[in-house]
């Protein structure tokens, strides 16, 4: 490898990410930290739904929820509604992250950094064809 190209290469993957994807990495870390309480509730609500709302352990009825007096059936409906909302939020965030995964990958790829993450497959293949050595 010629010396001028060796200077262009990063020493490690971490230095490459810090140099070329600092903002994206910070965004992913912030979204991960922000989603932790939602994922925790997604695990805690089914446990409470089973133990408290169905079996009645550790709770007395009628119980107060946001100023409303609920019996066991009302509390069960309330917990089911919370669980449904958490499932929708979790599924939405999961599908959003899966759909945008190609966008994150292209932001980190040096060959695709010159194009928009929404560029077509044809544009990306043309860029990669130009970067291949002629045979």
CB 97 within 8 A of CB 74: no
**Mean pLDDT across 86-109:** 65
12: pLDDT strictly greater than 80: yes
Give Cα 54 distance to the centre of its chain: 32
The reported pLDDT for the residue numbered 122 is 47
Rounded percentage of the chain residues whose pLDDT exceeds 70: 63
Put residue 127 in one of left, alpha, beta given phi > 0 → left and psi -120 to 50 → alpha: alpha
Q: Determine if the peptide bond prior to 62 is cis (ω within 30°).
A: yes
28: pLDDT strictly greater than 70: yes
What size, in residues, is the chain?
Answer: 135
CB 59 within 8 A of CB 52: yes
**Bridge partners, residue 64, by sequence:** 69
45: pLDDT strictly greater than 70: yes
Q: Structure pTM?
A: 0.56
């Amino acid at each position: 490898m010629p010396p001028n190209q060796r200077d262009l290469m990063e020493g490690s993957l971490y230095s490459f990410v810090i140099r070329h994807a600092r903002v994206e990495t910070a965004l992913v870390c912030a979204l991960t930290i922000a989603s932790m309480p939602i994922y925790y509730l997604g695990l805690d609500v089914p446990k409470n739904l089973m133990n408290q709302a169905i079996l009645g352990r550790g709770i007395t009825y009628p119980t107060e929820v946001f100023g409303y007096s609920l019996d066991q059936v009302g509390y069960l409906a309330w917990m089911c509604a919370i669980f449904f909302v958490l499932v929708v939020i979790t599924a939405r965030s999961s599908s959003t992250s899966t759909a945008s995964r190609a966008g994150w990958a292209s932001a980190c790829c040096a060959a695709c950094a010159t194009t928009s993450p929404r560029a077509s497959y044809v544009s990306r293949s043309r860029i990669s064809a130009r970067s291949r050595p002629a045979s």
